[in-house]
Structure formats: C-alpha cells, structure tokens
Amino acid sequence: MSILGIDIGGSAVKGAPVDTAAGTLTADRLRIAVTRPAAPETVAEAVAAVAARFPGAGPVGVTFPGVVRDGVALTAANLDDRWIGADAAALFAAATGRPVTVLNDADAAGVAEMRFGAGRGRTGTVLVLTLGTGIGSALFTEGVLVPNTEFGHLELEGFDAETRAAARVREEEHLDWPAWAERLAAYLRYVEKLVSPELIVLGGGVSRRADRFVPLVTGVRAPVVPAVLGNAAGTVGAALAAAAAA
C-alpha cells in the first residue's frame, strides 16, 4: 500500500508516497523550503503543496518537530511559538482535504528504523537520534516506542544540548568533523547515563556522511551506527503512522 508521508523540519517540508510494506519511497521527495521560524500558515501551505504534488484521497502521515499529543503540538523549539497548543492534525487535514495523522518527527524516524533499518530485529533498549536543525530522539524498549522523549533539550555543559551538538551547529560554527564529533560524543555519553541503550542509531541528513564522524565518536559504551534509511526515515515513519491509524 502506498501512503503519503510528509516530514516537517526546521527549514523545509519534504514528502513522498511510501510503500509501507517495503519501507521505500515510490517517487522522489518534493522539498519545499520554509522561512525560519516557520509559522503555522506557512507550514500548512507547504504541506498542502506536497499533497497536491501527490494527489489522492487516502490518509497522510505528517511529522512535527516537537511534542505531539492527540494531534496537538505542545512544543515548537525550532518553529514559531504560535504552534504551541495548535491542533496540527486539524490544520493539515483542512489544508490537504485528507485525513491526517501527526506525530513527533524523531519518533517517526525511529519507527521506520526499527521496522526497516538499523534497529530491525533488535530487542532491549534502542535510542534513535536525528541530527539536523536540532536533535530529535526516539526511545524504544523491546521494540515499543516511548513517545516524545525530546532528549535534544537536555542540559549539556550549561546549554540546551542541541545548541551544542546538532548538525546545524557544526555548519554555523564552522566546526571540523573531529571538533563536532567530540561534542556529539559528550552528548551521547550523557544520554547513555540516563537510559543505558544497547544500540544508538544516528539519523538525519548528516547520516549520509557517517564515515566522517561516527568513527571519531569515542567513550560511548553502546554501538553507534548510522541510520539505514538516512534522511528518508521520517517520511517513511509518517506513512507507517498513517497506515496504522487508518
């Protein structure tokens, strides 16, 4: 079954139809840049444009970079503050004219990685992190998701962790790979003290360059591996969520 998955990030909205049985995109993703901090109406317009590019009447899965409960956004660290308390599911349903399921973006990526990627078949505790504009987190115990963990906002060295170790920070502060890997390792060691994962999966767009930084991450007990689905994981996970809700 092909279901449209849409992934909202801090700087762009991306979407494509997904074969939910195989965990693969059935067309190239459409990417629409949005101005930061992205306001509800701006993001809704982008979501509508993606849905129009892949028309149909079926359900749509949409990720959101913040805590989501029953379709309502409760936080919006990298988006406009007007998102807080907004009914994102209702907004996107009105914009697309289709039934919409909304979930946290890292949770969506994690679900996809556990079903089709690096976490497939793994038991115990698995931590999936998405490294991009911020740091998203998805925690699984025996394959069951603990939703909305938001470990990217833990305090690290007196700062919000994602302001020290997100992929965006590496670019903005012009850090070389070793310097950024050192920050990332410090963050991973801190999170490891809290949840003791048996596997850490690193996703987000930077995961396609995992060979540049994963070997430099030291002092972490758990194996650290790149996401298999890469930056498409959120899109796949969004479609899986919509399929489960249909």
The verdict on 41 and 99 lying in the same domain is yes
Q: 29 near 12, Cβ under 8 Å? A: no
Please name the helix (run of DSSP H) or strand (run of DSSP E) that holds residue 211, with its range, or none. helix 210-213
List the structure tokens of 202.
């690193």
Residues in contact with 25: Cβ distance below 8 Å, sequence separation at least 6, in sequence order = 16, 17, 18, 19, 232, 235, 236
pLDDT in tens, 62-119: 999 999 999 999 999 889 999 999 999 999 999 999 999 999 999 999 999 999 999 9
pLDDT digits (tens, 9 = 90+) for 149-181: 999 999 998 999 999 999 999 999 999 999 999
Residues 70 and 134 in one domain: no
**Number of domains composing the chain:** 2
Same domain, 98 and 202: no
Both 88 and 123 in one domain: the answer is no
d(CA 36, CA 24): 29
Count helices and strands in the chain by DSSP H and E runs: 8, 15
User: Are 35 and 94 within one domain?
Assistant: yes
- The answer, yes or no, to whether residue 121 has pLDDT greater than 90, is yes
79/10 same-domain check: yes
Based on the domain organization, do 113 and 226 belong to the same domain? yes
Euclidean distance between CA atoms 65 and 10, whole angstroms = 7
pLDDT for the residue 11: 85
pLDDT at 192: 97
For residue 246, the model assigns a pLDDT of 87
Q: What percent of the chain has pLDDT over 70?
A: 100
Cβ contact 97:225 at 8 Å: no
Q: Give how far Cα 46 sits from Cα of 5, 53, 119, Å.
A: 13, 11, 31
Say yes or no: 116 and 226 in one domain: yes
Of 39, 19, 120, 21, give the one whose Cα is nearest residue 80.
39
Residues 132 and 169 in one domain: yes
Strands 24-25 and 12-19: antiparallel
Domain co-membership, 163 together with 189:
yes
Mean pLDDT of the chain: 96
Q: Which domain holds residue 213?
A: 108-230
Strands 144-146 and 155-156, bridge-based pairing: unpaired
> Per residue in 232-241, pLDDT tens?
999 999 999 9
Which of 112, 137, 145, 149 is closest to 188 using CA atoms? 137
Q: Return the bridge partners of 30, or none.
A: 15
| 179 and 154 housed in the same domain | yes
Q: What is the CATH number of the domain that holds 192?
A: 3.30.420.40
The verdict on 85 and 118 lying in the same domain is no
Phi-psi region of 71 (alpha: psi -120 to 50; beta: other; left: phi over 0): left
- Whether the CB-CB separation of 135 and 127 falls below 8 Å is answered with no
What confidence category does residue 10 fall into, taking pLDDT thresholds of 50, 70 and 90? Answer: confident
What's the pLDDT tens digit per position in 169-219? 999 999 999 999 999 999 999 999 999 999 999 999 899 999 999 999 999
Q: Is 212 left (phi over 0), alpha (psi -120 to 50) or beta?
A: alpha
Position 1 scores a pLDDT of: 73
Q: Which two tokens stand for residue 120?
A: 């497939």
Model-wide pTM > 0.85: yes
